[in-house]
Amino acid sequence: MIKFENLTRYYGDVCAVDHVSFEVKKGEILGFLGPNGAGKTTTYRILTGYLQATSGTIKVKDYDIHEDQLEIKKLIGYLPESAPIYHDMLVYDYLNYIADIRGVPEADKLPHIKGLADLCSLNEVMHKTVNQLSKGYRQRVGIAHALMGNPEILVLDEPTVGLDPNQIVDTREIIKRIGKEKTIIFSTHILSEAAATCDRFVIINKGKLAADLTIDQLKELTKDRSFEELFRNLTRGDNQ
């Protein structure tokens, strides 16, 4: 479904993503893990068309990010880190706007928005402006934004950051529920959360691929130690 091929991105002299290659299969929930500054967000931004790759490419289905960016954007729903949303817009107006842009037909628009509001528990805030919302609600508006128009692929950059424990569980439930029919890439710093939701794990560190594991391989590796320990070994190895 999504194929990263030697993806590389420089910011000036700094290499943020360094020849990263891996593949995400249709219907998989992929945990994309790594310490802060490892290049996760940069990878997402290249995949979603916000940034350009310095070299290498990503293929989504048969589309290439260098040639068919618009087609790829149509396939992907993206929740950026900290979910920036127009703060002077009403939640309903915002979702309506995204529905228009995503080409949701006029007749399906209202039921679709209602369905997403139910799924993300946004019904009480539909007529508030975004800057009146708490962090948790804002994050959920972001998730509704990503789900708008039923994209086949979801890219969620730390969807549970800043949420309270109840909301984290709710969000995880949402991801699991929608993950049954969609391909999802998401990142988190809560490893137990990743272990509980994902089918596969890709760990990157300093822009390089550190590990690419299936759930079974992970179970094998974490038999005699915790996931946290494994993560530390993989991503701090060169410091010690």
Partner 1 sequence: MRNKTTENVKHIFKKEFKSYFVSPIAYIVISIFLLIMGWLFFSTFFLNDQASLVGFFAILPPAFAFIIPAVTMRLFSEEMNVGTYELLLTLPVTFRDIIVGKFLAAVGFVAVMLAPTLVYAITVTFMGSLDWGPVLGSYLGALLLGAAFSAIGLLASAMTRNQVVAFIIGMAICVCLALLTDFLLFFLPDSLVGFFQFFSAKYHFADIAKGVIDSRNILYFLSVIFIALYGANLIMQEKK
> Which residues are at the interface with partner 1 (CB under 8 A)?
45, 48-52, 70, 73-74, 76, 78, 80, 82, 84-89, 93, 97-98, 100-103, 145
- Closest approach of Cβ 47 to partner 1, in Å? 9
Report DSSP state, residue 97: H
- Closest approach of Cβ 14 to partner 1, in Å? 16
User: Of 89 and 195, which has the nearer Cβ to partner 1?
Assistant: 89
Closest CA to 69 of 48, 41, 40, 99: 48
- Closest approach of Cβ 65 to partner 1, in Å? 11
Residue linked to tokens 């068309």? 49
The Cα 206–Cα 55 span in angstroms is: 17
Closest CA to 159 of 44, 47, 69: 44
- Closest approach of Cβ 102 to partner 1, in Å? 7
- Closest approach of Cβ 231 to partner 1, in Å? 27
The Cα 128–Cα 126 span in angstroms is: 6
Q: Which residues contact 22 (CB under 8 A, 6 or more apart)?
A: 4, 202, 209, 212
Contact 78, 146 (CB under 8 A): yes
User: Of 34 and 142, which has the nearer Cβ to partner 1?
Assistant: 142
User: Of 96 and 222, which has the nearer Cβ to partner 1?
Assistant: 96
User: Of 35 and 149, which has the nearer Cβ to partner 1?
Assistant: 149
User: Of 76 and 120, which has the nearer Cβ to partner 1?
Assistant: 76
